[in-house]
């Protein structure tokens, strides 16, 4: 006869796909979640608007933010050391902020339908969220670079 599982044990299934609560409570987790949600909302707004030609940028940013959200949540950044994750995240945030700012200005000024205006307003909010994220990531990059460049990287130490 099988023994019942304890009440506190994690159940397999969809619950295993959810990120840990510690990551969701972290600043990086909240920023990546906000970026994903905003990018998805903007994507939906552009699909419903006359400015449908702008829909590719929010779709790509949604997919990238979602990938990084699950990569950081599952600690892939600690497993794959060949890629410098904060620099990748910084470049993604900088380009996303610039692109969202540009297409939001174009959507608000050029198109007159409500969905384009909504996408533009959400785009300005996304620009602010991405700017906050790249500011925080930039400060992390600076503190990493100020730690000391006299230590050679782990993979390139001479014996």
103 falls within a domain: yes
Q: Is the model's pLDDT at 6 over the cut of 60? A: no
Q: Residue 94: which pLDDT band, with cuts at 50, 70 and 90?
A: very high
**Cα–Cα distances in Å, from 34 out to 12, 37, 42, 62, 72?**
27, 5, 12, 10, 15
Q: What is the pLDDT of residue 156?
A: 41
With a pLDDT cut of 70, the percent of the chain lying above it is: 81
Q: Residue 3: which pLDDT band, with cuts at 50, 70 and 90?
A: low
Q: Which domain holds residue 51?
A: 22-147
65 falls within a domain: yes
79 falls within a domain: yes
16 falls within a domain: no
pLDDT, average across residues 98-120: 93
- In tens, the pLDDT along 67-79 reads 988 888 888 878 8
Q: Crossing angle of helices 85-110/114-146, nearest 10°?
A: 160
- In tens, the pLDDT along 117-150 reads 999 999 999 999 999 999 998 988 888 778 755 4
Contact 127, 39 (CB under 8 A): no
153 falls within a domain: no
10 falls within a domain: no
Torsion sign, CA atoms 23, 39, 66, 143: negative
82 falls within a domain: yes
3 falls within a domain: no
Domain count, the chain: 1
Residue 72 corresponds to which tokens in the numbers above?
Answer: 């950081």
Q: Is 109 exposed, middle or buried (0-12, 13-18, 19+ CB in 10 A)?
A: exposed
Q: Which range, 13-17, 82-86, 145-149, has the best average confidence (pLDDT)?
A: 82-86
pTM here is 0.77
């Amino acid at each position: 006869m099988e023994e019942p599982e304890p009440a506190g044990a994690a159940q397999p299934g969809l619950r295993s796909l959810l990120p840990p609560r510690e990551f969701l409570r972290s600043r990086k987790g909240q920023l990546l979640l906000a970026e994903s949600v905003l990018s998805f909302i903007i994507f939906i707004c552009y699909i419903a608007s006359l400015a449908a030609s702008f829909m590719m940028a929010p779709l790509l940013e949604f997919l990238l933010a979602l990938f990084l959200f699950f990569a950081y949540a599952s600690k892939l950044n600690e497993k794959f050391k060949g890629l410098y994750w904060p620099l990748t995240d910084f470049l993604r945030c900088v380009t996303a902020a610039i692109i969202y700012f540009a297409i939001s200005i174009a959507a608000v000024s050029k198109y007159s339908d409500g969905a384009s205006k909504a996408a533009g307003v959400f785009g300005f909010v996304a620009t602010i969220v991405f700017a906050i994220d790249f500011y925080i990531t930039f400060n992390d990059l600076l503190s990493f670079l100020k730690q000391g460049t006299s230590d050679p990287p782990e993979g390139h130490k001479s014996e």
